[in-house]
Amino acid sequence: MGVNNKNVFVGAPDQKATGAILTGPELEDVPEDIDDVTLTGLGDSGYVNEDGVTITPSDSTETIKDWSGAEIRRILSEFTGEIAWTHLELNAESARNYFGEDHVDVKAATTTKGTRMRASLGKNELPIKAWYFKVKDGDRRVLIVAPRAQVVSRGEIPLTATGAITLPVTLATYPDADGQNIYIFTDDGVFSA
């Protein structure tokens, strides 16, 4: 089989109808196909900065040595998967991701005031929920699903006159019932005749 440029995907966000990062309740069963994943009723995080989203898998291994001290095998002892990005939009959903759902209060706009939001930082454990990352490259699509993940690291919030206020976060992903942390679905957009 030769090379095929249709298998080269660009990681641009799919945000035509919603933002590219969505959240919802933990998933018990992950669908088998990209078109079987339901994306309705999920929280929409809005814009992400130009650095995009980074998935970082990390394997830890233990070395087995023979009597002479030579390494003869490695066994997997631990897997962690992290997903990181920076929210560029300061909206209720991105704030809930950063501060925690119970620590963001939003009041609707009135005839005299705009939409108001109050968020608080403290020693607050953030919830475990499902996360969805939508990518589109022409007719090619990618959907990353973390059925059980939690924000475990929050970066600095910059307040400058020359840039946006951003909310950087890192998720830790946890194994589902099948022992998998992250699912990556693709559709190459090429239809058969």
Using only the alpha carbons of the chain, give its radius of gyration. Answer: 20
pLDDT tops 90 at residue 67: yes
Query: Which helix (H) or strand (E) element contains residue 62?
Result: strand 54-65
Distances (CA, A) of 144 to 10, 99, 165, 169, 173: 14, 23, 26, 17, 12
29: left (phi over 0), alpha (psi -120 to 50) or beta: beta
Q: What is the pLDDT of residues 153-190, one digit of tens each?
A: 999 999 999 999 999 999 999 999 999 999 999 998 87
Domain residue extents for the chain: 19-187
Pairing, β 128-137 against β 140-154:
antiparallel
pLDDT tops 90 at residue 14: no
pLDDT tops 90 at residue 1: no
Q: What is the pLDDT of residues 123-146, one digit of tens each?
A: 999 999 999 999 998 888 999 999
Supply the DSSP string of 132-179, one letter for each residue.
EEEEEETTEEEEEEEEEEEEEEE------TTS---EEEEEEE---TTS
Q: How many whole angstroms separate alpha carbon 109 and alpha carbon 92?
A: 13
Q: How many whole angstroms separate alpha carbon 120 and alpha carbon 136?
A: 34
pLDDT tops 70 at residue 79: yes
Q: How far apart are the first and last CA of the chain?
A: 20
Distances (CA, A) of 97 to 4, 28, 163: 38, 21, 21
Q: What is the pLDDT of residues 19-66, one digit of tens each?
A: 799 999 999 999 999 999 999 999 999 899 999 999 999 999 999 999
pLDDT tops 80 at residue 6: no
